[in-house]
A and B are shown apart, each in its own frame.
Chain A
Amino acid sequence: MANSVTARGPSRREAFTAYALISPWLVGFVVFTAGPMMVSLALSFTEYNVVSPVVWRGTSNYTNAFFGDPLFWQSIKVTFVYAALSLIPGLVVGLAVALLLNLSIPWLSVWRAIYYLPSVISGVAVAVLWQYVLNPRFGIVNWALSLVGIKGPGWLADPNWALPSLALMSLWAAGGAMVLYLAALQGVPTALYDAAKVDGANAYHRLRFVTLPMISPVIFFNLVMGTIATFQYFTNAYVMTGGGPNNATLFYNLHLYNHAFRYFRMGYAAALAWVLFVIILLLTLVIFRSSTAWVYYEGQLKAGRS
């Protein structure tokens, strides 16, 4: 032990052993993650239809996406509109349900199970189920609306309603975020609430100045993960609408998929993938930068404050 670690750090022999021990991960990362990413970056500057040889095209794939492809801008619009419709409502609904399920009410575990139930069904099954549920003719959503005298819209068949339909559907699976909020809520020390009550805080004050700051790291986590997942939205659009009607649900990833596996334009699809990567990276950076203003870590010492 003593002679293997010198003042200059671990010996070369020890470093070799360390690399050998992590090699299963290292090889997997280089071969299956870093390698394909580099290949996709290289492909994005080429034209490649899988069967003919690769042709170098420089940056034309990128300029073509921004200046020569109207569906690119449509898919950007669809993805951002969907993010606006689903992200914040999803956060609010998940948090509201978690707050209600944190009260001491009868049959608490039954309520929690019911709200988490939709989150355990896998992606394509949910998509097919909602295709039936939202059917304009015999779906149970329009049936329930007809009971109270409302004639339901065409949902997925209506260009104006297709995107809001998918956003409403995403609220059905708010249980996943709810569980995380619930765990965070149960970690808030009750002493803080007692102290706030002594100081005359009402229920709103306790929520605004005790609960929300204490669970802000979890809100931040859900916001970042939700943003990334929303911009990678694919399964439901692919299964339920295929981008229609009239490109109203042409999500960015669906547009990418069409170019890669329907038109076999691998180079252009790779360029689209890298544009999406940059978009997600920038949005995540913005959220991280904003977090210093609203996320509170109890264990963190802030510079300049005593």
Chain B
Amino acid sequence: MTSQTQTAGRKPRRRFMSSETLGKVVALVVLALGAVVMVFPLAWMFSSSLKPLAQIGLFPPVWIPRE
């Protein structure tokens, strides 16, 4: 009880994250967005390698080849 009354007057300043962790989270988000751009053409190339010619020119693109 006494310890509660002692701390009640001062608000504990607890940050959600340190600035260093926040920086790493931002870096990860930026890297992930860039990685999507890097991987998309490669993914398309791989998926097209499994498609018959007629399915390559479809819009919207067919990602999983159909029979």
Contacts and interface: CB of A to CB of B under 8 A. Distances in A.
B: interface residue count bin: 20 to 34
Contacts of B57: 137-138
A104 B27 CA distance: 10
B1 interface: no
B34 A115 contact: yes
B39 interface: yes
Contact of B45 (A103, A114, A129, A175): A129
A105 B28 contact: yes
B31 A143 contact: no
Interface string A85-116: 00000000000010011011110000100110
Contacts of A175: 38
Contacts of B24: 103-105
Contacts of A111: 31, 35
A221 interface: no
Contact of A133 (B27, B41, B58, B60): B41
B42 A117 contact: yes
A152 to B, nearest CB: 12
Contacts of B40: 133, 140, 144
B27 A103 contact: yes
A130 interface: yes
B38 A118 contact: yes
Given A97-B34, A101-B31, A137 B41 contact: no
A129 B41 contact: yes
A104 B60 CA distance: 39
Interface residues of A, number: 24
Nearest to A134: B41
B58 A138 contact: yes
Main secondary structure of the interface of A (DSSP, over half): helix
B64 interface: no
Contacts of A130: 41
B59 A172 contact: no
Contacts of A117: 38-39, 42
A132 interface: yes
Contacts of A172: 37-38, 41
A114 B36 CA distance: 9
A296 to B, nearest CB: 26
A106 B25 CA distance: 10
A133 B45 CA distance: 9
A114 B39 contact: yes
A100 B27 contact: yes
Contacts of B39: 114, 117
B56 A143 contact: no
Nearest to A135: B57
Interface of B: 23-24, 27-28, 30-31, 34-35, 37-42, 44-45, 48, 56-61
Closest 7 CB pairs of A and B: A138-B59, A114-B35, A133-B41, A100-B27, A138-B57, A140-B44, A111-B31
Given A118-B38, A143-B61, A144-B40, 13 more contacts: A97-B31, A105-B31, A114-B39, A115-B34, A118-B41, A132-B56, A133-B41, A133-B44, A137-B57, A138-B56, A138-B57, A140-B41, A143-B59
